[in-house]
């Protein structure tokens, strides 16, 4: 798994340990233009979520959740794709966390989409 980083601020990546050392508030930009928080970059690396799966989830979502706000006032939007689930801050566009989408979730969402195509609401 690889994420190619552009220098946006002082970031050090240890490929042997699969860790990212950077200030917590840093935004990590990739060559494809995706913006990751330090936490999200670490999660993508340790959970083996490829950048192409993250980009696909954002471009072709199976499901978009509602915007939620945590106890610290931080907004978050969860987007489910075929291979990755992405949580991003809808105000800044920064990806704050990622994980792999379970195959059972993909099947359930595909079945829901299939049923809604067969029975359109009028």
First to last CA, the chain: 45
Q: What sign has the CA pseudo-torsion 59, 49, 67, 26? A: negative
pLDDT digit string (tens) for 64-107? Answer: 999 999 999 999 999 999 999 999 999 988 999 999 999 999 99
pLDDT at 14 over 90: no
Find, among 37, 15, 13, 14, the residue nearest to 25 by Cα. 37
pLDDT of residue 11: 46
pLDDT of residue 112: 78
pLDDT of residue 121: 53
Contact 121, 70 (CB under 8 A): no
pLDDT digit string (tens) for 16-65? Answer: 555 555 445 556 666 667 888 888 988 998 999 999 999 999 999 999 99
| pLDDT class of 1 with cuts at 50, 70, 90 | very low
Q: How far is residue 98 CA from its own chain's centroid?
A: 4
């Amino acid at each position: 798994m690889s994420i190619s980083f552009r220098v946006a601020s002082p970031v050090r990546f240890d490929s042997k340990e699969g860790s990212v050392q950077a200030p917590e508030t840093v935004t990590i930009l990739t060559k494809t233009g995706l913006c990751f928080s330090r936490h999200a970059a670490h999660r993508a690396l340790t959970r083996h979520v490829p950048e192409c799966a993250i980009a696909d989830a954002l471009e072709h979502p199976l499901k978009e959740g509602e915007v939620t706000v945590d106890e610290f006032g931080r907004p978050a939007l969860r987007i489910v794709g075929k291979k990755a689930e992405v949580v991003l801050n809808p105000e800044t566009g920064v990806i704050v966390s990622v994980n792999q989408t379970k195959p059972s979730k993909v099947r359930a969402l595909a079945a829901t989409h299939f049923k809604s195509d067969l029975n359109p609401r009028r």
